[in-house]
A = this chain, B = another copy of it.
Amino acid sequence: MTTDTAGAGELLTILRDGRSRTRADLVKLTGLARSTVGVRLDALLKQGWVVPEGEAVSSGGRPAVSYAFNPEARVVLAADLGALHARAAVTNLAAGILAERRTELAIAEGPETVLGWLADAFTELLEETGHTREEVSGVGVGLPGPVSHETGRPINPPIMPGWDDFDVAGWLGSRLGAPVLVDNDVNIMALGEHWSTIRDVEHMIFVKIGTGIGSGLITEHRLHRGAQGAAGDIGHVRVADADPDVMCPCGNTGCLEAIAGGNALAARLRVSGIEARNAGDVIAQVRAAEPAAISLVREAGRNVGDVLASLVSFFNPSVIVIGGELAEAGEHLLAGVRERVYSRSLPLATANLQIRVSRLGEQVGVIGAAAMVIDEALASDAIDRTLA
C-alpha cells in the first residue's frame, strides 16, 4: 500500500469544483500534515491531473502558488447509440465536446457492425484532435435498451436483435485499450442534462419521448439505476382510461409507449390521411402547423403527464426535463404534460416544480456518456490507483 499518495484522489475531488487552492488551503481543508499534502499534490502534478495556476495572494513572504484541476489532462470517448442513428465524440474531462461524428445506422444491424463503426469513429476522432489512446481515461456508451451497468451487457433488449447479453464493454475495451462503461440511453441523457445545466439540483426526472418512452432518475445528484438497473422504464406503465384495444408489442394493453410514442402518433396521423412514418414525420407536421398533428402531440403530452403525475407525488423531483425527438414539438407537448401533472399531483410536490425541455438537444446523450466516465475515472479511489 502506497500510503503517501493513497489520498491524492481526495485532493483531486476537492479541486474538481473548479476553484484553485494553495498548499496551505489544502492542508486546512483536509486536516492532513503539510508534508502529506505535498507528496500527494506532487503526484497529481506529475500526472498532469492538476496544474499550477498563477499565484495566490499571500500574507507576506513568498507569494503562494495555487493549484487547479486540469480538464485537459485526459480525454474521454463517448457514444450515444439510438435505434436508427449513432453518435460518437471525444471530450475533455469537463465533458466538453472536442470533435464528434454522427451517422444513420440501425442498431438492428447487430453489435459487430455497430460497434465496429464506433471503434473506427473513435480512432479517427482521436487522430483528428491530436490525442493518443494512452490519453483516454475511459469510454462511455449509451444503448437503446435495458443494460446491466455492472457487466456492460444488454439484457433482453426488445429493439436490438443480436445484442442480448453481448459483451459490449469487453468487445470495445479490447479494441480501444481503455475501460468501457455502458448504460441505457435515457440514463446517460439524465446524467448529461444534470451535469451540464442543473448540477445543483438534487432530484430530477429526465423523460425521453421518441419512438420509445423512457426516463432517467437523478437522486442526491446521482443516477438511480435501481436493483436490476431497470429504473426509469416507464414506457409500459398503463395509462389511465387507455383504450383497451391498443395492444403494445410487450404483450400488455394501454402502455404509455403504445399510446404516446412516436410510432403510435405516426400511425394515428396516417388514419387521418396524413403521410407519417415516425416521430420525425410527426414533428415535421407540427412544424407545418398541421392541426391534427398539433392536437395529437398535445394529447400525447397529457398521457405522459398522467403517468408523471403519479411519479411526481412518489418521487418529488424539483425538475422534470423532456427530451427525445418529440420534445422538438416544444410548448405543444409541454402544455399537455403540465396540464395533467398540475391537476393530479400533490400541491406540495408541484409548488416549486419546473417542467421544461432539454437544453442540450441531440448532444445530451454523448455529454452524459462522457460525464458517466468522468465521474468514475476521477473518483478518489480511481485516481489513487492511477498513482499507485
Contact = CB atoms under 8 A, between A and B. Distances in A.
Interface residues of A, number: 55
B226 A315 contact: yes
B315 A348 contact: no
A3 B215 CA distance: 45
A349 B226 contact: yes
B202 A310 contact: no
B234 A314 contact: yes
Interface string A302-338: 0000110111011111100000000000000000000
Interface stretch (A97-105, A235-243, A262-270, A285-293): A235-243
A347 to B, nearest CB: 8
A219 interface: yes
A244 to B, nearest CB: 9
Interface string A329-372: 00000000000000110111101110000000000000000000
A283 B171 CA distance: 57
Interface string A218-237: 01101011111111111011
Contact of A230 (B227, B344, B348): B348
A156 interface: yes
A352 B237 contact: no
A87 interface: no
A155 interface: yes
Contacts of A208: none
B31 A225 contact: no
B348 A228 contact: yes
A348 B226 CA distance: 11
Given A156-B347, A225-B316, A314-B314, 18 more contacts: A202-B227, A217-B314, A219-B219, A220-B222, A226-B316, A226-B317, A226-B349, A227-B352, A228-B352, A230-B346, A231-B314, A233-B313, A233-B349, A234-B313, A238-B306, A240-B240, A307-B310, A311-B311
23 contacts: A1-B31, A3-B31, A6-B31, A155-B348, A203-B227, A217-B314, A219-B224, A224-B315, A226-B317, A227-B316, A227-B317, A229-B316, A230-B316, A230-B348, A230-B349, A233-B313, A233-B346, A236-B313, A236-B346, A240-B242, A252-B343, A314-B315, A315-B315
